[in-house]
Every structure is written in structure tokens, then in C-alpha cells.
Amino acid sequence: MDTEAASSKISPTRQQIIDCAQTLFMEQGIQGTSLADIAKQAGISKGTLFYHFKSKDELILEIAYSHVLVIGDDILNSIKDNPCSSDFAKHLENLIHTILHSQLRNQLHVYLIEECVTRNPGLQEAMHQMYFRWLTSIIDAIAPEFGAKSPAIAHLTLAIIDGLIVQGILGIKNPPIKDMVQLILGQKNSDG
């Protein structure tokens, strides 16, 4: 799916459906939200909703794709700003802070992962491909500085971000992000 082309051709009604569905998914969860709920929130009939989306799964997939692109853009923009410098650790810290401070988006992320694991193999495959693109982009961006360690650093970075998203939803606050980044990058702690 070409996102730039898709977003420039999207109708206002379709975008309204997506926005309302995303809001309801974040508030009620994906399984707790019916198509009737979405249509009511969007102020349209179910027939209009079905004109734009053949199924709830199609709507979920479009929201997931958009969601993952936003997170991917955060990751890539952070890395591309200055990937191979002594400030890379600071960029990585800022990236993690940026992602963690988007609580509603993070809640949607967890609901999408739940949907992948419990019910929707198509979504699982799409998310797998998107994660793979994130990993590849991170590896390519940091390879000049970190060489053979780049794949491990990329995997650890995404695993830590996913884990911290879950911890944040569970109410665990103030993770030691600077120390985690130093561990990821193999740097010594400035305190010791």
C-alpha cells in the first residue's frame, strides 16, 4: 500500500470512520468495539461504513498500518537526525521518551498486538512485515558506527520500546532509559 497515494485519495467520510474507530479502539479495545459503535460515533449508517470498509478486519488493518507508520516515522526520524555521532545515545533516549509519552497511541499498539496474537493472522503478517522494515531501517542507519552489533542493537531497541509500552500501560513509571540506552550501546555508566 502506497501510503502517500492512499492518504491523498482518502475521502473525508473514510477518514472520519478511521478516526472514530481509532478513538473507540483506544477507549474500548478492538473486541469491545462493534461496527455499529463506529458508525454511530462517525454519524453515518452501517451501510456507509460498509461502503468504505468491507469488514472490521479491513478497517483494523488500515488503522494498524497507519499506526505503525507513525511509530516507524518516529523511529526513523530520530535515527536519521544524526545516526553516527557521539550524540546517538541521546537521540535514542529521546526516541524512547517520545514513544512512551504517547499513552493513547501506546494503548492502541497493545490492542493491535492482542488482535494479532488472538484473532487476526492477516494483521499479524502485516505487523511482522512492518516490524521487519523498522529493524532493517534501524540496522542500516546505525551500521556505519556499530557494524556487526547493529542487528542486536536494533532488536534490543524495539524489544525495550515494546516492553516499556506495556509497563507504562500497567502503571510502571520512570524507567531508567539512559541506563538502558547505555547498556544497548555497550557504553559504560557515567556513575560507575
Q: Tell me the pLDDT tens digit for each residue of 84-131.
A: 555 778 877 877 887 887 777 788 888 888 888 888 888 888 888 888
Higher-confidence residue of 7 and 142: namely 142
Q: Which of 9, 5, 179 is nearest to 96 (CA)?
A: 179
The residue count for the chain: 192
Contact 39, 45 (CB under 8 A): yes
How much is the pLDDT for 133? Answer: 84
Note the pLDDT tens digit of each residue in 11-67.
Answer: 999 999 999 999 998 888 888 999 999 999 999 999 999 999 999 989 988 888 887
- What is the reported pTM? 0.71
User: What's the one-letter identity of residue 16?
Assistant: Q
Catalogue all structural domains in the chain, each as residue range(s) with its CATH number.
57-185 (1.10.357)
How much is the pLDDT for 3? Answer: 42
How much is the pLDDT for 12? Answer: 93
Q: Which of 41, 10, 11, 8 is nearest to 24 (CA)?
A: 41
CB atoms within 10 A of CB 119: 13
Give the three cell numbers for residue 125: 503478517
pLDDT tier at 6, thresholds 50, 70, 90 = very low
